[in-house]
Structure 1
Amino acid sequence: MSNRTARRCRCRRLLPALLLVCLACMAPAMAGSSRSSSTATAPVISATPTTDAGWAMLEEILSNEAQRIVETMPLIDGQKMHGPIKVKIDPIEKKMTLLLSKDYLADGTGAAFEDIVSYVGSAIVSTAAPAIELNGWDTLVEGRPLSYYFPEDYARASLRSSSSANSSVAVFGGHGWYYHYNFKDWRAQRDPSNGILEDEITTEYSRRLEKMLRDSYRAQVFEPRGHSTDIHTPSGQPWWRLATRYWLKRALPNRPDIWHSLPGSASPLRERNEDIRSRPLYANEVKADTTIHLHTNAHIDTRTRGTGVLYHAGRSRDENLARNILCYMDEYIHIRSAYKDWIVPANPTPRMDLGENKLADMPSVIVELGFHTNPDDARALQDAVFQEGATAGIAKGWYLYTQGMGCKKMKILHIPDVEALYGEHQQIKVEYEGIPLSMIQVISSIKNCPANAPCRGFNGGGPKDGPVTLDISCPIPDLKEPLVLDVETKLMDFSGGSAPLYHHKVKCMPGGAEGPGPWRGLARRR
């Protein structure tokens, strides 16, 4: 058994309050080999430390887990061995810091570096969740921030346009096929998982989002990665599969500073790294007011699910855009019954190491639509119903951000329970909150209509900035006693925004007309 495994096994005795299951102890076959430990399961943590010693032990366990994970990943080009990686936790700020050795920068902060930081960081956040809910993480290399090693990139990251215009947006479907100089072939940037190739499915989301932004919000949209089925001769692939870098090379042949921004690089991943950089550099060139990058996510634990939005830490405008998009994705996804339990976190994730955001001169966010490593998420990502809801939420979040409005999801606040006579019609007020984008429609269904009563659902509505009402009526059953109707009401606007169902009652009383009669005054409200 290695010293590292032995340390993890001792956690049972040293810190019982953490209730740690050190699974390395449960797999003797893994002992003595850091490579074979890649098959281990993450340690289970089920309580929050209450002492400094407890937090120190948690950091040690998370550091061991981070090291185990990173050793399952390919070496970065130029990296001779996996260097040490440590985890530090700030329990007050609820922030994590990944401490890396300098060999992780062997190929700069390109695609391989981003993959390691994203994969390890998200796994450690999940592992630590029972003890502390971490809000993103920072990355230090040899104790220094990445800006120390790449000052030009991070000087740009601190810039922001002073323009208040918000009418244009650059939309990028993430990844795409690229040329690999070691293997001397064209390949996707991501591996297929559960029937999904991220490089390709993101183009469907970018197509939907572009159309929605143009048609519904009259936005000026820049989407350089198109949808042509023509064949790109060097790769033999249809153009729609190719990464943004190659589209920009064709469209802007005299601007290699955008699509060939690493001319001195000898990395076999240099065109993949240039692809990451080309997206924000193009958005800067066309002076887009905002930028949205669309991706699907991956996690070492295939049970991990849900949507996420990432922004560059410390940029308040980017954070506001991220919060709006996350808020309205929650609204538009959850109104679809198949996805009412879809996981949407309350807060976006701040990061400082992601090139798509840090190189942008305008508010920029990365939308992780769902986890292609999870079978249920993968099915949803391919479902047109989910695609419509997710992109509609992104579009509304973007639009309301441009109007200076924040997150206020649609919600019915109150519909009074009323009494009416059989055959009587009444109009009642619907109180709601939220930001509708068009006229309001209200639709009700009766959940307990008896067989001998000709029940019909109720309808109503109103202008987006005026009173909203619901017309109710009592059926004329062959009854002489009161009938209490259980009513379920939905409020929506014609853009697809909708409030959760609201339950209320209508009590129908004998003594009314023998058929649908005239209005009978005010409702008798309980």
Structure 2
Amino acid sequence: FTLTVNLVFFVGNSSAANSGGAESASAVASLSKSDRSQLEKDLTQEAQRIVKRLPPLEGQLSNKHDVSARFDSAGKVLIVDLGRDYVPKINGAEFEDNLHAISRSLLPLFDDVVTIDGIEFRYSGKDIYYYFPKDYRPSPVQKKTDVKPVALPQAAVAAQKKVMISAGHGAYYHYGYKDWRYQRDNFNGVVEDLVTPPMSTYLSQFLISNSNALTSFVRSQDSTIHAPSGLEWWKVASRYYLANKYPELTAVWNSKSKSPREGDIERTEDLYARPLFANNQKVDALLHVHTNGVAETTARGLRIFYQTGRVEDKKFAESVHCYMKEAISTTPGYETYPTGSVNFDDNAETREATMPSVIAEVGFHTNPDDQLALKDPVFQKAAMRGFEKGYRMYQEGKACEPFQITETPNINSPLNKSFDVLSHYKGNPRFPVKRVSKATSCPSGLTCAGSTKSLTGASPFKVQGNCNYNGTALKKFQMTWEVIFTDADGVTAKTTYVTNCGA
């Protein structure tokens, strides 16, 4: 709480935050030296507090690490140095989870205060690849998407984009506990491993119907029993599904074959299997569906992550965030659902992928409000519609522009005359758009009937109205209308206008 207050105070009072049109992202850079130093001190204390409660991993010398947090010169990256002692024996899934626990706890502190690009971790000034050089992956050369592709018929399968969907995480075998267990704990009925597959199914359906994509999954969709675990196949991690279906692809599902079969080694193999299988299948995009979880139960909302240093992935992530926000915020009951930020992060799931790859962490399974949303099919579908649209708009090279009605001019018309009602809009609605109107004020004795229309085409939308009146008592009258536009993705936009009849 104190740290959030300090962020608001320091950043809110910076020259950048108070100058017209200045981006809040530059606010940190404009802080005075003393204010910036105090803010970094507060962030250091918070990072230290988070690190202290994490259990030490094998190879780490203690859990009392000398942690520091500072911003880069531009004020857009928070650099958290955990010290050499924090480097573990294995750079695997468990270590990545601990880094997530730190970054996912710190990032919400910046929400609605200042925008940062992401958090970078250092270990006595070095990145993790100084200690694990074999794990380093340079950013692949990625084709820019800046031209809308030619629309091809559904039958032209060869021209369809191949999109792979990864639902985190799935059950795995732990050699230490000698049992099968989910990778994430149960929080009030929400287990990430079990809530992401249905969302991934919705995402696949929307990609097929709206983006003409060929979709595939890294986890099984089958409800039959996986004998070793006794669980249904769809509940099991991708490593086992791929080993069963593609036994010859040992480099994909058994990528840590030289490591001892101990602890959670197969969880690490599962983590790597997702992008390695996407590479093997030469797909055009890899979409990850996750939920989030931290110790602070107040943290909530949507988070989008892309791999550090990848320009195209950043564009992709920004598009996904834009349209997931659009879809969720126009869904009844979720208008105020927090939609977080887009940040870079170093994840094996995206680092190992050679194609554009984005992680959507749809909500925090550790937050009571998000838990309700994550269990609601209405919310799940809305979020995945937005994910699909973000992919589609990225493929078409379209910028972030949510659907909204910018203006519906009032009408002044003589009695018994027809006229055009024009609603100017911006954004990228998927057609047809349903227009439903109703009168919110109507003169006594008149019937002001609304209508439902199906619309397509460029702005403005146009429908016909009239000022028909067969009586003699009124020389002029006024009607007020409310109109709701709903596109084929379920995204809504509202407008009102006034008709002055007899003017």
When the two structures are superposed, what TM-score results if normalisation uses the length of structure 2? 0.86
Select the residue among 291, 295, 298 that pairs with 1:296.
Answer: 291
Q: Which stretch has the larger CA shift, 423-432 or 110-119?
A: 423-432
Quickly say closer, same or farther: Cα 1:129–1:434, change in 2 above 3 A: closer
Q: Secondary structure at the match of 2:430?
A: coil
CA contact (8 A) 1:47 1:131 kept: no
Contact 1:196 1:372 in 2 (8 A): yes
Residue number in structure 2 paired with 1:160: 141
Contact 1:104–1:113 (CA under 8 A) maintained in structure 2: no
1:382 is matched with 375
Letter in 2 for 1:368: E
Displacement of 1:239 in angstroms is 0.8
Q: Which has the larger radius of gyration?
A: 1
Query: Does the 8 Å contact 1:175/1:243 carry over to 2?
Result: yes
In the alignment, which residue of structure 1 is the partner of 2:487?
A: 493
Is the 2:443–2:477 Cα contact (8 Å) retained in structure 1?
no
Q: Counterpart of 2:196?
A: 202
Q: Cα–Cα, structure 1 residues 194 and 453, in superposed 2: closer, same or farther, change >3 Å? A: farther
Structure 2 counterpart of 1:56: 37
**Residues 10-409 of structure 1 mapped to structure 2, 5 A cutoff:** 21=2, 46-48=8-10, 50-82=31-63, 83-90=65-72, 92-127=74-109, 132-155=114-137, 157-162=138-143, 167-266=161-260, 267-345=262-340, 347-351=341-345, 353-409=346-402
2 CA distance for matches of 1:219 and 1:72?
44
Q: Secondary structure at the match of 2:49?
A: helix
Q: Indicate conservation of the 8 Å contact 2:105/2:299, yes or no.
A: no
What does 1:444-463 correspond to in 2, within 5 Å? Answer: 444-449=437-442, 452-463=445-456
Q: CA deviation at 1:45?
A: 5.0
Instruction: Rate the CA distance shift 1:394–1:179 in 2: closer, same or farther, 3 A.
Output: same
Q: 1:280 to 1:452 in 2, by over 3 A?
A: same
Identify the match of residue 423 of structure 2 among 426, 430, 444: 430
Letter in 1 for 2:357: S
Q: 1:204 to 1:290 in 2, by over 3 A?
A: same
- In structure 2, the partner of 1:13 is none
Q: 1:469: how far off?
A: 0.6
2:167 partner letter: G
Against the structure 1 CA distance between its residues 131 and 369, is the aligned structure 2 distance closer, same or farther, given a 3 Å change threshold? closer
8 Å contact from structure 2 (residues 62, 86) kept in 1: no
- Residues 218 and 125 (structure 1 numbering): CA distance in 2 closer, same or farther, change over 3 Å? closer
SS at match of 1:79: coil
1:17 corresponding residue in structure 2? none
Counterpart secondary structure, 2:189: coil
Measured against aligned partners, the alpha-carbon deviations of 1:415-445 in whole angstroms (never above 9, x if no partner) come to 1100235554432222211223323332222
Query: How far is 1:486 from its partner?
Result: 2.3
Q: Residues of 1 paired with 2:117 and 2:470: CA distance?
A: 58
- Shift of residue 304, structure 1, vs aligned partner: 2.0
Measure the CA separation in 2 of the matches of 1:391 and 1:244: 21
Q: Distance in 2 between matches of 1:497 and 1:480?
A: 39
Pairing 1:420–2:413 present:
yes
Cα distance 1:43–1:342, how it changes in 2: closer, same or farther (>3 A)? closer
> CA 1:130–1:431 in 2, change beyond 3 Å: closer, same or farther?
closer
User: RMSD in angstroms over aligned alpha carbons?
Assistant: 2.6
For residues 65 and 458 of structure 1, the distance between their equivalents in structure 2, rounded to whole angstroms, comes to: 56
Q: 1:108-167 deviations in whole A, cap 9, x for unaligned? A: 332222222122123223346687543311111221122323334333x41235597881
Task: Give 1:70 shift.
Answer: 1.6
- In the aligned structure 1, how far is the partner of 2:305 from the partner of 2:2? 31
Which segments of 5 or more consecutive residues in structure 1 lack a partner in the other structure? Answer: 1-19, 23-41, 510-523
Whether contact under 8 Å (1:48, 1:132) holds in the other structure is no
Q: SS at 1:301's partner residue?
A: coil
2:167 and 2:218 in contact (8 A); partners too: no
| 8 A contact 2:81–2:121 mirrored in 1 | yes
Q: Normalized against structure 1, the TM-score is what?
A: 0.82
SS at match of 1:106: coil
User: What amino acid is the match of 2:9?
Assistant: A
Which whole-Å deviations, capped at 9, do the CAs of 1:13-41 have from their partners, x for residues lacking one?
Answer: xxxxxxx959xxxxxxxxxxxxxxxxxxx
The 3 A distance-change label for structure 1 pair 339 and 356 is same
Residue number in structure 1 paired with 2:477: 483
Give 1:91 shift.
Answer: 6.3
Q: How many residues align?
A: 468
What SS does structure 2 have at the residue aligned with 1:69? Answer: helix
Q: 1:235: Cα distance to partner?
A: 0.8
CA distance in structure 2 between the aligned counterparts of 1:371 and 1:501, rounded to whole angstroms:
30
Give, in whole Å, the separation in 2 of the partners of 1:135 and 1:126: 13
Provide the C-alpha distance between the structure 1 equivalents of 2:239 and 2:71, rounded to a whole number of angstroms. Answer: 38
The answer to whether the Cα contact below 8 Å between 2:219 and 2:234 also exists between their aligned partners in 1 is yes
**Residue identity matched to 1:471:** Q
One-letter identity of the residue aligned with 1:54: D
